[in-house]
Amino acid sequence: MNEISCPSCGEDENLSGDSKESGNKEKVTVTCETCGVEWERDLKPQCSKCGAEDMRAAVRSIVDKSRGTQLSIQSLSVVYLCSECDRDELVAWNQSNTPLPPVELPYDID
């Protein structure tokens, strides 16, 4: 997913958004609660690597340990794949139509 931060102060957590304020379903008005700057953000997915807008929706599994070391799918997340940068994952998704594997697996903290 695309990270978002304030263009003025760089804040990336203390932000709020309102799509009703913008009056446009494809944009949201974002307010930085740290410095008060407001801007409109386009909601169309865009590749964070190359900037392309040719993105395809896919589903990625989120796993956790359910018993001992047994991994189980806990939920699913919609991800957007770039037809150029994420070509291998996109091919796997189109061929199988099953959730993509997680990016990282859970681990034990000792």
Q: How far apart (Å, rounded) are the C-alpha atoms in residues 37 and 63?
A: 38
Question: Rounded CA gap, 70 and 74, in Å?
Answer: 12
- Tell me what pLDDT residue 22 has: 55
pLDDT computed for residue 34 by the predictor: 93
What are the counts of helices (DSSP H) followed by strands (DSSP E) for the chain? 2, 5
Query: Structural domain boundaries of the chain?
Result: 1-43, 55-96
Record the tokens describing residue 15, joined without a space. Answer: 């932000």
Q: For the chain, what is the mean pLDDT? A: 84
d(CA 20, CA 81): 28
Say what percent of the chain tops pLDDT 90.
Answer: 35
Predicted confidence at residue 27, as pLDDT, reads 83
Is residue 67 over pLDDT 60? yes
The rounded percent of the chain whose pLDDT value lies above 70 is: 89
Helix (H, G, I), strand (E, B) or coil at 91: helix
Instruction: List the one residue out of 62, 61, 21, 13 whose CA is nearest residue 39.
Output: 21
